[in-house]
A and B are shown apart, each in its own frame.
Chain A
Amino acid sequence: MAEFEPKIAAFVCTWCTYAGADLAGTSRLQYASNVRVIKLPCTGRIDFHFIIKAFERGADAVLVSGCHPGDCHYTAGNYHARRRWTVFRKLLEFAGIEPDRVTFAWVSAAEGAKWASLVNEVTEKARKLGPFTRYQRLNEIAEGEAER
């Protein structure tokens, strides 16, 4: 049986993490190919709805990454994001979503190597957890393919 390949959505900021991911590319660092990056100007723009919708659309794990505190291109967007995630991740956990399915990280434009190892780490975590069958079941119920 083929190994389970998790589908991972990544919401990243343009100025730090996206640039760091580019640096991993220019350095030809190799990493797992399961991540699909959605580029946003700042982690401050990331709404919690994105995470829920990503799970609804089949993501097995979500990665959120931006500039280190103090380095935000817009000075404070990542601080606002951090405050939101502090509470939101606890809500997700309370609702029964495995904490390892959502990862938060700070990756700077100089940290190409960190991006590569972060992607590998998140992919492995998701592989171990397996497909997000709980949400898949919700999809089946919603589409009328299964009973409640």
Chain B
Amino acid sequence: MIDQLRQRARELLTTGEAACIIGYADASVPGKATPIVITRAEDADRLVFHAACCNNLAAYLTRPEIRKLGTVAMVAKPADVRAAFVLMQENQVRPDDVKFIAVDVTPAGECTLLAQRTREELLDYLVKNVPPAELADDALKDVAALEEQKDGERWHYWQQQFSRCIRCYACRQVCPLCYCSRCVADKNRPQWIETSAHGRGNLAWNITRAFHLAGRCVGCGECERACPAGIPLMKLNRKLAKDVRDSFGGHAAGYAFSGEQLFAGYSPSDPNDFFE
């Protein structure tokens, strides 16, 4: 599989179809992988793909230095493809500027290179074969468990979790949908979100990030993986993904590369029962 992947990368670069490939290479730590950007066909041999390739490479699509290069080909797992589609919907990348070297890992752990290449083919593949991971029944079990607790217990739980937050923003940095060049957390006139790492500021930060991702999170889980303090961030994201699905006719992020963003629109039949 890896030979085919490298061959595809070589072809894309030599034909000029892509100016660079964003993929994975072996990291300095054995068994781990690191993101890599190559621009020369001979470097294609450095590309790898295995179960430890966890980074969501769509995060690099919005980097100014990558954008300058023009067309980009990215090694993309299904969640990464979804992320790229959301970026297209939000005008962050031009659809024609992104080529996909789509890959997947079977439940048995086998790495495959997908035959689908174009966005239309990949969209079709996703819709037919890849339901949103964040909405899988297993995935929602812990969300349900938390929902069943009393609000006091939930508050205590999240305060415990957020108390460990050091405001390193690793979660934001690895997330492909957190692409704002000036994050609202860095806005200080006025300062809606305090930068200090205490309970009050941390709650504001984590609520803000979760809400800003509602309807946009593709469930790659990188935020939780990257968090040095082990905060279960995906619990928040899965919860909101579920509420968005249930409130807005089954909406899930990344299953379209054009069309209206969820909170840019509305429906006259949106839920209304919580209003006095």
Contacts and interface: CB of A to CB of B under 8 A. Distances in A.
A125 to B, nearest CB: 11
Interface residues on B, range: 35 or more
Given A87-B247, A141-B198, A142-B198, A96 B151 contact: yes
A96 B146 CA distance: 10
Given A95-B155, A142-B199, A86 B204 contact: no
A56 B198 CA distance: 13
A105 interface: yes
A82 B272 contact: yes
B207 A95 contact: yes
Contacts of A87: 211, 214-215, 240, 243-244, 247
A79 B266 contact: yes
A14 B244 CA distance: 29
B147 interface: yes
Given A56-B204, A87-B214, A97 B239 contact: no
Name the prevailing secondary structure of the A interface residues: helix
Contact of B200 (A85, A98, A138): A138
A14 to B, nearest CB: 19
Interface in A24-69: 47-49, 52-53, 56, 69
Contact of B163 (A92, A94, A106, A148): A148
B266 A86 contact: no
A49 B208 contact: yes
A73 interface: no
B152 to A, nearest CB: 7
Interface string B239-255: 11001100110000000
Given A82-B271, A83-B265, A97-B151, 13 more contacts: A49-B192, A49-B208, A56-B204, A80-B266, A82-B266, A86-B243, A87-B244, A94-B239, A96-B153, A105-B276, A121-B276, A141-B199, A142-B200
